[in-house]
């Protein structure tokens, strides 16, 4: 309370992290509070794409698509080590709601709106060329296809962490596992009562403006501030399935009910998703159920009939809730646009609702602009040009060409390990290797499913704010998306983490048990 902040941000997903970074770069004093871990909510439950939203053209939302494609280009410029262009095939079948002509118009408009002119042009193809690109497609009723480009981000959690680290390095105070219990406006300030969920310690904070970036929990945060108006979030659930590799070709396909979903390669595996259904359950316990799994498998079998897509092939599932800011008759047609709302008695509570992962930077700019107006400050946004924490001084190919041999020789590690670390940490990869150099045991590979090393465990704690075993493995390391997700190595990972975090034997056992319970929930379907 004796150190007032100009801005207190509630929520540590991609939007809250983006707001904290933007505000800190403008010179504001910033505090970010996240009740669980950074990126533990919907930001880690996406289809792992940075995309412009081709399907939103069907809703005539050209402004949203143009915004997303602009932001996609900015993200690729800032972190090409995390984001990779991906060709995606749309198979077209007789009777589909959108025929070949309509899809052709759509992808060419998408191409025109794209600002990344180094990406190949989009095109449509007939029956023969379509099967050459994906021979496993169901041939019955197949008339052709269209091909377009979007970008894959294997670990969207890493982009959240990049923003968190960049915010901290710019002066922001960022804290995870701190839940806001209540807040109230008093005079020209907002007083916040919060609790550290790991230590149990209560904390009091004072800020001039509070930003509610709670994502699906926006209305719960509003209640904590006594804002009991009509709900502004309309949550829908999205479910994904991870399976062994089905194909190298990414597919964007229409289900029988007209909804679109993806079947895409994800590293050595394949990802199927997503669903889009109304959700009214517990926001802290969102998981795939049998109906979700059956729907995705049934529709995938219809498109890829010869690949034995059965439940026993599913490695795990994950589910998240989209914090949509608009209502609609059909979930898939509800707008993904965002809203910035000034609330509270004096307008010191700024709520950001809706939006897309891809457009988080622009959303954050709108929020901080609103906060600056309330604070009486005129400071321009810098995030369009400012580098992220791991941004590269050169293009990715040039950086890999120069740094892989230098770091490999300098730290006596394989070129493959250096490439792996650069693709997840960018220019900060050397800092991970430096930790491993100080302790040879931290150079050891953790699992045969990933090139991750134990040095990343220590780095995830010291530099990226990991406080629990789940934080470290599931949201900071590639190991967290593999089929076993580090479960077999949990004891040794916990031993390394526990030494750094001061866990006793009981605490270490408790961390392992909680981690395994979290994994178990994503296999119950």
Model confidence at 329: pLDDT above 60: no
Instruction: Give the closest residue to 119 by CA, choosing from 161, 80, 158.
Output: 80
pLDDT at 3: 76
Interior angle at CA 419, CA 416 and CA 425, nearest 5: 140
Of 445, 441, 439, nearest in space to 477 by CA:
445
Count of other CB atoms within 10 angstroms of residue 350: 25
Angle at alpha carbon of residue 94, lines to 89 and 99, rounded to 5°: 60
**Whole-angstrom distance, CA of residue 68 vs CA of residue 49:** 12
- Of the candidates 10, 2, 428, 69, which has an alpha carbon nearest to the alpha carbon of residue 220? 10
pLDDT at 257: 86
In the prediction, which pLDDT does 59 show?
Answer: 81
Residues 6+ apart with CB under 8 A from 359: 67, 68, 71, 338
| Of the options 1.10.10.10, 3.10.105.10, 3.90.1150.10, 3.50.50.60, the CATH number for the domain spanning 5-43+157-233+336-375 | 3.50.50.60
CA 491 to chain centre: 27
Q: What is the pLDDT of residues 367-377, one digit of tens each?
A: 999 999 999 99
138-156: average pLDDT:
97
Q: Quickly list DSSP for 26-50.
A: TT--EEEEESS-TT-SGGGSS-SEE
**How far does CA 328 lie from the centroid of its chain?**
25
pLDDT at site 58: 82
Q: How far apart are CA 394 and CA 207, in angstroms?
A: 39
Burial class, 517, CB count within 10 angstroms (exposed 0-12 / middle 13-18 / buried 19+): exposed
**3-state DSSP of 74-111:** HHHHHCCCCEEEEEEEEEEECCCCCCHHHHHHHHHHHH
Query: What's residue 96's pLDDT?
Result: 86
Give the tens place of pLDDT for each residue, 199-253: 999 999 999 999 999 999 999 999 999 997 789 999 999 999 999 999 999 999 9
Contact 202, 194 (CB under 8 A): yes
Question: Where does 448-489 have alpha helices with state H?
Answer: 455-462, 469-476
CA distance 151 to 49: 6
pLDDT value at 333 more than 80: no
Instruction: Provide the whole-model pTM.
Output: 0.97
- The chain-wide mean pLDDT, for the chain, equals 95
- Report residue 438 CA to chain centroid gap: 32
pLDDT band for 433, please (50, 70, 90 cuts).
Answer: very high
- Give the model's pLDDT for residue 152: 98
Tell me which CATH code domain 396-521 carries: 1.10.8.870
- How does DSSP classify residue 441? G
User: Shortest CA distance to 330 belongs to which of 382, 387, 287, 278?
Assistant: 278
The angle at the Cα of 457, spanning 451 to 463, to the nearest 5 degrees, equals: 120
The 3-state DSSP class for residue 126 equals: coil
- Total Cβ atoms within 10 A of residue 491: 10
Extract the runs of DSSP E, i.e. beta strands, from 94-201. 123-125, 142-153, 173-176, 178-186, 189-196
3-state secondary structure of 257: coil
> Which pLDDT score is estimated for 330?
58
pLDDT of 121? 85
In sequence order, what are the beta bridge partners of 174? 32
- Quickly list H helices, 270-428: 290-303, 360-375, 396-411, 415-425
State the Cα–Cα distance between residues 131 and 133, nearest whole angstrom. Answer: 5
Going by C-beta distance under 8 Å and a sequence separation of 6 or more, which residues neighbour residue 189? 4, 206, 207, 208, 348
* Alpha-carbon separation of residue 67 from 14, 414, 483 (angstroms): 17, 40, 35
Q: What is the C-alpha separation between 40 and 513, in angstroms, rounded?
A: 18
pLDDT in tens, 460-494: 999 999 999 999 999 999 999 999 999 999 999 99
Domain boundaries, the chain: 5-43+157-233+336-375, 396-521
Contact 149, 88 (CB under 8 A): yes
pLDDT at 91: 97
Distance between CA atoms of residues 358 and 383, nearest Å? 14
CB 481 within 8 A of CB 266: yes
């Amino acid at each position: 309370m004796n150190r007032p902040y100009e801005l207190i941000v509630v929520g540590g997903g991609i939007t809250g992290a983006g707001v904290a970074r933007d505000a800190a770069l403008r010179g504001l004093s910033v505090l970010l509070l996240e009740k669980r871990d950074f990126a533990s909510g919907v930001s880690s439950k996406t289809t792992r794409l940075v995309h412009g939203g081709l399907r939103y053209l069907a809703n005539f939302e050209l402004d949203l698509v143009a915004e997303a494609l602009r932001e996609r280009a900015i993200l690729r410029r800032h972190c090409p080590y995390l984001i990779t262009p991906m060709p995606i095939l749309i198979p077209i079948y007789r009777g589909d709601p959108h025929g070949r002509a309509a899809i052709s118009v759509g992808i060419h408009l998408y191409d025109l709106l794209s600002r990344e002119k180094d990406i190949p042009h989009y095109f449509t193809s007939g029956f023969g060329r379509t099967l050459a690109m994906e021979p496993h497609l169901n041939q019955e009723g197949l008339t052709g296809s269209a091909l377009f480009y979007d970008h894959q981000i294997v670990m969207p959690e890493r982009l959240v962490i990049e923003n968190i680290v960049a915010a901290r390095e710019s002066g922001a105070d960022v804290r995870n596992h701190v839940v806001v219990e209540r807040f109230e406006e008093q005079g020209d300030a907002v007083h916040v009562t919060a609790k550290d969920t790991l230590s149990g310690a209560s904390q009091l904070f004072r800020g001039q403006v509070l930003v509610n970036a709670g994502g699906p929990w926006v209305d719960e945060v509003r209640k904590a501030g006594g804002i009991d108006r009509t709900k502004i979030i309309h949550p829908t659930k999205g479910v994904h399935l991870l399976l062994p590799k089905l194909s190298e070709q990414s597919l964007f396909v229409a289900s029988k009910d007209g909804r679109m979903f993806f079947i895409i390669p994800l590293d050595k595996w394949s990802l199927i998703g997503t669903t889009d259904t109304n959700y009214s359950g517990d926001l802290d316990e969102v998981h795939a159920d049998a109906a979700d799994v059956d729907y995705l498998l049934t529709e995938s079998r219809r498109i890829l009939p010869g690949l034995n897509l059965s439940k026993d092939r599913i490695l795990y599932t994950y589910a998240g809730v989209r914090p949509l800011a608009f209502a609609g008759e059909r979930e898939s047609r509800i707008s993904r646009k965002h809203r910035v709302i000034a609330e509270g008695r004096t307008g010191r509570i700024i709520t950001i609702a809706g939006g897309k992962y891809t457009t988080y930077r622009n959303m954050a700019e709108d929020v901080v602009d609103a906060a600056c107006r309330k604070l009486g400050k005129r400071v321009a946004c810098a995030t369009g040009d400012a580098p992220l924490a791991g941004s590269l001084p050169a293009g990715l190919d040039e950086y890999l060409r120069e740094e892989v041999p230098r770091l490999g020789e300098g730290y006596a590690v394989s070129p493959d390990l250096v490439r792996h670390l650069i693709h997840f940490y960018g220019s900060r990869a050397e800092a991970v290797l430096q930790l491993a150099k100080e302790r040879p045991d931290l150079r050891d590979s953790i699992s045969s499913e990933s090139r991750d090393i134990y040095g990343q465990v220590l780095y995830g704690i010291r530099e990226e704010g990991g406080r629990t075993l789940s934080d470290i493995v599931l949201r900071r390391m590639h190991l967290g998306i593999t089929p076993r997700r580090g479960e077999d190595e949990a004891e040794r990972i916990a031993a390394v983490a526990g030494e750094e975090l001061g866990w006793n034997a009981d605490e270490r056992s408790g961390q392992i048990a909680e981690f395994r319970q979290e994994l178990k929930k994503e296999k119950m379907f």
